[in-house]
Amino acid sequence: MAWFIRFNKPFGVLSQFTDRGTEGSSRPTLSRYIDLPGVYPAGRLDRDSEGLMLLTSDGALQARIADPKHKMAKSYWVQVEGIPDEAALDALRKGVDLKDGRTRPARAARIDAPEALWPRDPPIRERKSVPDCWIELTIREGRNRQVRRMTAAVGHPTLRLIRARIGEWTLDGLAPGTWEALPPPPRQPDKPRRRW
């Protein structure tokens, strides 16, 4: 049986099952929360980010979700420093220039703080003199720390980052550190090979 699960990754957890970083490291990994054999993450989520991860034992499904060439939309709730004006949001929508090139257009909008938000441990650094707000950002790429770099590029550093959706799957009803088995999505038909 092929496993397909959604998991709400807490802050500070590595999105892998072992920590190969340093000898004797006590950094928490997925193995602290998920005890299913043979499942692997379909994509990564930075250690200092939280939220939705999909894991599966089906290699083809893993590739379909994780590979940027499939352009699967990923939505994030992003708490940023300052209050982005329409020009900053429009820059995110059009694409911003990063060191590794211009990003694809994204969807970006200011939102109220998500209702089902859990406290973060440790809490974010708050500065009374600098306001903050939440935006929802949807991208179809997977560059390293892309969302954080995008918000910084428009003058609003990320304070907290939560992935809320990957394709059709959401974080709804899933507490931090818990997972749920899902029915696997239907397989996509193989593309016919072109004959010359």
For residue 86, count other CB atoms closer than 10 A to its CB: 9
Residue-by-residue DSSP string for 116-162: TPPPPSSPPP--TTS-EEEEEEEES---TTHHHHHHHHTT--EEEEE
Structure tokens at 69: 């060439």
Q: Out of 46, 48, 67, 190, which one is annotated catalytic?
A: 46
Exposure string over 114-137, b if 16+ CB within 10 A, otherwise e: eeeeeebeeeeeeeeeeebbbbbb
Residue 46 annotated as catalytic: yes
Annotated catalytic residues are 46
